[in-house]
């Protein structure tokens, strides 16, 4: 089956997706994280349909649904008193970059991690395209490199942009990063497009006690509808008033109607707690399996967005291909984003499929490298490959397999 598009999807509901041949899969991508409540959450669907019935768009940039979204969103992030809305995660990170540049009158952006597909952050670890913005530098999550850059270029740096890598770095890493950034006259932006509605209610910054200047949000904000936001303190936005950040479809009300219903569900239904329960069951089930079968592999660590690491890539690839044939949609090498719609039956089916798949793989391939345990070196390789950490950083900060902040 084509690796890039393994499933031609026909429809989805909750955590299930059906392909055009009628096969059902259990989805562990939450549609790339977009629908953490599960696809078609009834209250979100009702709110979106009601908004569409009244036309779905208004000839004004301010709508009641937009105001209500801001009013429900901001109390979840106590450091923030302003929100600007956009459509995609990339729009939000690009808007945050512009806000920081206009506010500080500086151009240089120091970044780590993925921030979307726009030109300014096409960093070398993610393709190294020749037209990448020369005014961004990837510091590879390396705090020493960051400190050196800030010391050398302090007069140029508008902002430091970081995506929290919650499965790898402890809270203490992000706290130290924030300390390194302070005092240089630049802004700190936490890219929480992935973590904002998945790590904890209030995202990573609140859980880790961080006070960034701006946070970018998207996945989950409107549970499946395209909506994103930049949130932060009023003075950061006020300093960037001259920046043009308008767009035609800010007049659409449907994503805002979906957002108000989603935010209500996040407050009242504890979906993140349910994602964590499901994730914990999967992580421990997979790790039991790997131990029983003596396969050097591990599932770790933050339950609602965990990773699986195989020492032998070939075995990992075959295991995931076998999962797909057995109706489990998980991306090899990716972050497994569970939705709150995942039931205990889905988890039992997944673990049974995992056992079958591994038995099948081991019939033809034995782990090529010795030992049943993964070493720190295996984890370090993942950090370098998956999110562009320097190897020094990976060696310094890898906390073992203990999730932080549970």
Ligand X SMILES: Cc1ncc(COP(=O)(O)O)c(C=O)c1O
Residues making contact with ligand X (CB under 6 A): 88-90, 93, 114-116, 163, 191, 193-194, 218
Tell the smallest beta-carbon distance from residue 121 to ligand X (Å): 9
CA dist 141 and 169 (Å) reads 10
Measured from the CB atom, the residue of 91 and 361 that comes closer to ligand X is: 91
CB 17 within 8 A of CB 321: no
- H/E segment holding residue 284: helix 271-292
Q: Which residue has the tokens 């890219």?
A: 191
Q: Which is nearer to ligand X, 106 or 198 (CB)?
A: 198
What is residue 74's DSSP assignment?
G
State the residue number with the nearest CB to ligand X.
89
Distances, alpha carbon 90 to alpha carbons 34, 118, 221, 243, in Å: 13, 6, 14, 17
Counted residue by residue, the chain has a size of 406
Nearer to ligand X, 229 or 341 (CB): 229
- C-beta of 94 vs 404, nearer to ligand X: 94
- The bridge status of strand 305-310 relative to strand 16-19 is unpaired
Which residue, 367 or 388, is less far from ligand X as judged by CB? 388
Instruction: State the minimum distance, in angstroms, from the CB of residue 383 to ligand X.
Output: 16
- Output phi, psi for 142, to 5 deg: -95, 110
Indicate the residue among 338 and 353 with the shorter CB distance to ligand X.
338
- Write the burial class of residue 146 (CB in 10 Å: 0-12 exposed, 13-18 middle, 19+ buried): buried
Q: What is the DSSP letter of 183?
A: T
Instruction: Pick the closer one to ligand X by CB: 196 or 303.
Output: 196
- Least distance CB 349 / ligand X (angstroms): 27
Return the number of the residue (47 or 194) whose C-beta is nearest ligand X: 194
To ligand X, the closest distance from the beta carbon of 278 in angstroms equals: 21
Find the helix or strand (DSSP H, E) in which 73 lies: helix 64-73
341 by DSSP, 3-state: which? coil
Residue 316 CA to residue 254 CA, distance in Å, equals 41
CA neighbor of 233 nearest in space, from 68, 84, 98, 72:
84
- CA–CA dist 331, 3 (Å, integer): 10
């Amino acid at each position: 089956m084509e690796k890039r598009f393994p499933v031609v999807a026909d429809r989805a509901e909750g955590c299930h997706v059906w392909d055009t041949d009628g096969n059902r899969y259990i989805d562990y991508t939450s549609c790339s994280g977009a629908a953490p409540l599960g696809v078609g959450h009834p209250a979100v669907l009702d709110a979106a349909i009601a908004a569409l019935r009244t036309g779905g768009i208004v000839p004004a940039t301010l709508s009641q649904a937009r105001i209500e979204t801001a009013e429900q969103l901001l109390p979840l992030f106590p450091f923030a008193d302003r929100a600007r809305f956009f459509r995609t995660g990339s729009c939000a990170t690009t808007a945050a970059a512009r806000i920081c540049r206009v506010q500080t009158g500086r151009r240089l952006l120091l970044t780590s991690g993925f921030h979307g597909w726009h030109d300014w952050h096409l960093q070398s670890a993610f393709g190294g395209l020749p037209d990448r913005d020369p005014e961004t530098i990837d510091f590879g999550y390396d705090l020493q490199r960051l400190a050196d850059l800030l010391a050398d270029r302090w007069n140029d740096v508008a902002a430091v942009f970081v995506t929290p890598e919650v499965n790898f770095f402890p809270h203490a890493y992000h706290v130290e990063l924030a300390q390194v950034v302070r005092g240089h006259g630049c802004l700190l932006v936490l890219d929480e497009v992935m973590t904002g509605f998945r790590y904890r209610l209030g995202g990573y910054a609140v859980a880790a006690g961080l006070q960034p200047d701006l946070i970018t949000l998207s996945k989950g904000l409107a549970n499946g509808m395209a909506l994103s936001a930049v949130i932060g303190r009023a003075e950061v936005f006020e300093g960037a008033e001259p920046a043009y950040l308008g767009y035609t479809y800010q007049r659409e009300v449907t994503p805002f109607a979906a957002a108000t219903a989603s935010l209500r569900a996040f407050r009242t239904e504890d979906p993140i707690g349910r994602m964590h329960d499901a994730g914990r069951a999967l992580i421990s089930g997979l790790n039991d399996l790997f131990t029983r079968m003596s396969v050097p592999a591990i599932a770790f660590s933050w339950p609602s967005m965990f990773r699986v690491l195989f020492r032998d890539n070939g075995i990992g690839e075959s295991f995931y291909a076998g999962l797909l044939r057995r109706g489990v949609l998980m991306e090899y090498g990716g972050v497994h984003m569970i939705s709150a719609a995942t039931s205990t039956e889905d988890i039992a089916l997944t673990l049974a499929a995992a056992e079958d798949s591994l038995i099948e793989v081991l019939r033809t391939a034995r782990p090529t490298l010795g030992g049943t345990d993964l070493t720190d070196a295996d984890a370090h390789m993942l950090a370098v490959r998956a999110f562009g950490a320097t190897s020094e950083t990976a060696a310094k900060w890898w906390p073992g397999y203990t999730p932080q902040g549970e």
